[in-house]
Amino acid sequence: MRDHLLVAALTLTVLACGGDPAAPCDTDGDCVEGVCLDGVCRPRSDGGGVDAGDAGRDRDAGVGDAGTCAEDCGDGTCIAGVCCDADRSCDGTCCGDAQVCSFNRCVDIGGPCSGEEDCGEGGYCEPRLGDETMTCGDAPAATGRCLPRPPTCEPGTTPDPADPRCVASCSFVPPGGALNVVERYAWGSFDGDPAAPNVDDVRNSPIVINLDDDDCDGRITARDVPEIVVITSPDDVNRPDGSNAIGDLVVLGVREGALVEKLRVPAIANPWTYPAAGEVDGAPGNEIVVCSVDRRTVRAYGVDATDGLVERWQSEDLGGALCTMPSLADLDQDGDVEVITRGAVLDGATGAIELRYDAPPDGHVVVSDVDGDPAHTLEIVSSSRVWGLVGGALVTLADTGLRGNHPIVVQLDGVGNPEIVGMDVSTHAMTVWRYAPGEPGDHVVIRREIDINGPLDPGRCAASSAGRTRGGGPPTAGDA
C-alpha cells in the first residue's frame, strides 16, 4: 500500500498524456488547445479545445476535468486527464513540484532542518526528506525538510490506517519495575590503594551537561550526547607546604562504548569545591563555572570552535567568604544569568561583581523562590538566612540566628511557603524553618537542631574520621 503520510521524492515529474510539452502558460486562456498544467499547455483528454465552461479556470495546482488519459500512465495515476506520478498523487490531486503529500493533502516543502526548532511554530522537521549525502563524522547527518504539522484528530477518534488524515494525541507511561543498578561505564586509574596520591580522585558530585555539537547541526541541543564534568586531584588535603589542594577540570564522554577523557584543564580549580554548568554568557553553548584553587575567584570555561576548553573569564577577588558551591540563576529576571556564590553575585557574561550581601552568609547558599510571590522572583537562601533584591541591593529578609552550613529548599507539608532545611556540620544537627513575612523575625522555626545521629554513638567511628566529631553534608529531600 502506498504511504499516504509522506512521499519521499524531492524532484517530481508530471507526465503528459500524449505529445511533447507545448507553449508555456499561466492560465487555460493562454493555450490555443488543451489546458494549462504546471505552467505548460497540455492536450485535453478528449482531444478538443477549451470548453466554454473552462474559460479562465487555472489548473496549475493539478485540478482539471475528469476523464481518462490518452496513454497508459504506468505506475502513475490519471488525474484530470493528465498522468500524475504515483509519488505526487494525493487524494485526487497532483501535487506541485515543490510539494509533497502529507496526510492526504499537498503541502509545500520547507527549508532544510536538523530539528523542530528550525521550522518555526506550526512546523516540524521530516527526516525522510533529508540530504542523505551529508555526514557527521562517519555517520549520516540528521537532516530533514520542514513541513506543516498534520491536523490533530478529534478527541476520541483515531485515523484510518488506510486513509490517514490526522494524528491522534497519545502518551506513553513506561511500566514501573525494580531499580537494578548495573555499572555501565567506569573511568579512572584507581590502583586499589585508597592512600594518596590517586590522580583521578573525585571529591565532588559530577555534573552532566551538553558541551559540544555531536550531531553536526551547528547547535548545542538536547539531541547531542551530554558530557560529565568533574574536578580531579591527587591531594587529599592542603599540600605539605600549606598551600591549597590543586584540582584539574576534566570533561568525560562516552565513545565507542567506553567512558573516556575528552578534555582537561590542569591545576585551575579547588578539588573540594563543586562545579556548575549552563549557558551563562548569552552566546550559543554552555559554560563550566569553577572555584579557583585559592577559592578567592571564580573561573568560567567554554568550548571553542576546535572543541577545546578555553577560559571565558576570571572574576576579581570575591572578598570575605570563599567560593565553594556556585549556582547559576537569573536572579534579577532581566534575561541574563548570574553566578551566585557565598561571596558575591557575578555577571555571567563577564564575571564582574554585580551584587554583594548586606551581611555575609554563614555557609553555602542556594537560589529558590521561598516567598511564594506571584512573579516567582528568586531569593538567595542559606541555612539560617534569606536575601532578596530590594532596590537593586541584596538585603537580608529573614535571619533565624541559627548555625548551619548546607541548606535545601523543599515543600514538606504542601501548605504555604516551602521549608528550608539547614545542616550544621559541627554539631550534626538539622533545623527546619520557613520564611514567613509578618511573623516575628519574618520566619517560623518548625524543628530546631535535631541530632541526625539519634541514639547512635559517634565513638563507634574512627577517631580520625569526620563522623567522630562532625557529620551531615548537604541534605537531600524527596518522596520516598
Domain ranges in the chain are 14-148, 197-351, 357-480
What is the number of other CB atoms lying within 10 angstroms of the CB of residue 192? 5
Q: How far is CA 452 from the centre of its chain?
A: 37
Phi, psi of 453 (to 5 degrees): -75, -20
Torsion sign across C-alpha atoms 322, 336, 380, 273: negative
Contacts of 298 (CB under 8 A, 6+ apart): 289, 290, 291, 292, 314, 315, 318, 323, 326, 339, 341, 346, 351
Q: Tell me, what's the pLDDT at 356?
A: 95
Q: How far is CA 140 from the centre of its chain?
A: 23
Residue 266 — very low, low, confident or very high, per pLDDT cuts 50/70/90? very high
Using the predicted structure, report yes or no on whether residue 156 has a pLDDT greater than 90: no
Q: Are strands 35-37 and 40-42 parallel, antiparallel or unpaired?
A: antiparallel
Phi, psi of 313 (to 5 degrees): -165, 165
Average pLDDT of the residues in 160-167: 88
Out of 72-76, 196-200, 286-290, 311-315, least confident range: 196-200
Side-chain-facing half-sphere of 113: CA atoms under 13 Å: 21
Helix (H) or strand (E) holding 228: strand 227-232
Angle, alpha carbons 334-349-211 (nearest 5°): 110
Residue 1 — very low, low, confident or very high, per pLDDT cuts 50/70/90? very low
Write b or e for each residue in 449-476: b if 16 or more Cβ atoms lie within 10 A of its Cβ, otherwise e.
eeeeeeeeeeeebeeeeeeeebbbebbe
pLDDT, one tens digit per residue, over 40-54 is: 665 543 333 333 333
Residues 407 and 382: beta-carbon distance below 8 Å: yes
Global confidence as pTM: 0.73
